[in-house]
């Protein structure tokens, strides 16, 4: 049985696109970067901690496979998490304006006897943003609960002048890497071509 260790409706939607049945585990894992911790290592750790905490909840279920994921926006080695408030959201968007940042998305898969990870790193370039555009976007409420204060699948998409990498990874769950990882654990995704999953 596959479980998704995430409260994110976006991850639920994305995993559902693979045509899989899965349970959902609601967890509250602290997301706090440690002093001196590299941004990529931080995202890897949080994804692993989510998966591990999820496995503890279903350890009595034979054959349980738990998927944990974390996605963060990184600029100049600073991790942009979810904004605290409107002022924080506007500040993040100002810093992203006219620049290229990375979106690091990590998928962790764990069972009682095995664990593995897949990493997706995308480069996202924002067009220069006017203060009026930032204010209007923050006023929609969409930036809240989103790493970097924007949603690529929503109104934030209009800010992006260039994307190199995984659209679904920026959204919160890189589907190509996820499908490949699931196949390694013996879980076939009905909607994914076998060749693409096996060799991508």
Tell me the catalytic residues.
Answer: 70
Tell me the C-alpha distance between 198 and 200, whole Å: 6
Torsion of CA 51, 56, 61, 62, to 10 degrees: 70
Q: Quick check: 25 and 58 in contact, CB under 8 A?
A: yes
β-pair type (100-110, 115-126): antiparallel
**Closest listed residue to residue 146, CA positions, set 50, 14, 4, 11:** 11
Tell me the C-alpha distance between 96 and 91, whole Å: 9
Half-sphere exposure of 146 (CA within 13 A, CB side): 25
Tell me the C-alpha distance between 134 and 148, whole Å: 13
**Closest listed residue to residue 120, CA positions, set 180, 31, 32:** 180
Half-sphere exposure of 141 (CA within 13 A, CB side): 0
């Amino acid at each position: 049985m596959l479980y998704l260790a995430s409260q994110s409706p976006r991850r639920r939607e994305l995993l559902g696109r693979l045509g899989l049945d899965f349970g959902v585990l609601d967890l509250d894992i602290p997301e706090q970067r440690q002093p001196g911790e590299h941004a990529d290592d931080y995202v890897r750790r949080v994804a692993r901690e989510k998966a591990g905490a999820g496995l503890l909840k279903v350890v009595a279920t034979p054959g349980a496979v738990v998927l944990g994921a974390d996605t963060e926006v990184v600029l100049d080695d600073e991790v942009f998490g979810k904004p605290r408030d409107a002022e924080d959201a506007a500040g993040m968007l100002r810093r992203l304006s006219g620049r290229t940042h990375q979106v690091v998305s990590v998928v962790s898969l764990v069972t009682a006897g095995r664990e593995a990870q897949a990493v997706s790193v995308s480069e996202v370039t924002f067009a220069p943003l006017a203060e009026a555009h930032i204010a209007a976007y923050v006023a929609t409420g969409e930036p809240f609960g989103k790493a970097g204060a924007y949603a690529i699948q929503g109104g934030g998409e209009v800010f992006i002048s260039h994307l190199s990498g995984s659209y679904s990874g920026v959204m919160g769950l890189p589907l190509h890497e996820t499908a490949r990882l699931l196949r390694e654990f013996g879980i076939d995704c009905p909607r994914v071509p076998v060749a693409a999953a096996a060799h991508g």
